[in-house]
Amino acid sequence: MKRRQAAVFLDRDGVLIREVGYLSRVADMRVLSGVPEALKLLRQAGFKVVVTTNQSGVARGYFTLKTLKGLHAELKRRLARSGAKWDALYFAPQAADSGHPWRKPGIGMLKAAQKRFGLDLKASYFVGDRFSDVQCARNAGCAAIVVRTGAGRSYKGPKPDAFRRDLLSAARWIIARS
């Protein structure tokens, strides 16, 4: 029987890039230290790398869908300059109170990636820095890792499977377990 593909789901703000609160300008985007290396290690280990991000700033009118897509294109370019990339990026532009299944802690984005790549969610991991990330991981049956970058510095919520210093530390922990 063929083993199904595992993924590492990643939150964007506070995990891949510095948390600034409703990022709307490329000039304010900073890739966190170790992120390109972490993405390369995870993909070399055979994981699909999938970014999942709530972006209610669109629904709130803080920035447009076009601006958001431009930010993601620039982030992809910056990572590519370091030889790193993700396999997919999904975002939920709906308002926090919308109840939309794609908004974390809902698992709509994870289900879309599961369908696209044939993923085994129970063999997968979710790296985030907030309660909604851990709850999303739990709802999907993934292992949850909280990084101490971004909001993870003061995380209070359900206990994740692990706390790690940053994404690179989390990637090494994940690879050691698989």
Looking at the annotation, which residues are catalytic?
Answer: 11, 13
Rounded to whole angstroms, how far apart are CA atoms 89 and 49?
9
Task: Find out whether 163 and 133 touch, Cβ atoms under 8 Å.
Answer: no
Q: Is 154 helix (H, G, I), strand (E, B) or coil?
A: helix
- Which residues make Cβ contacts (< 8 Å) with residue 18, sequence separation at least 6? 29, 30, 32, 150
Tell me: cis bond preceding 158? Omega within 30 of 0 counts.
no
Amino acid at 174: I
140 conformational bin, left if phi > 0, alpha if psi -120 to 50, beta if neither: alpha
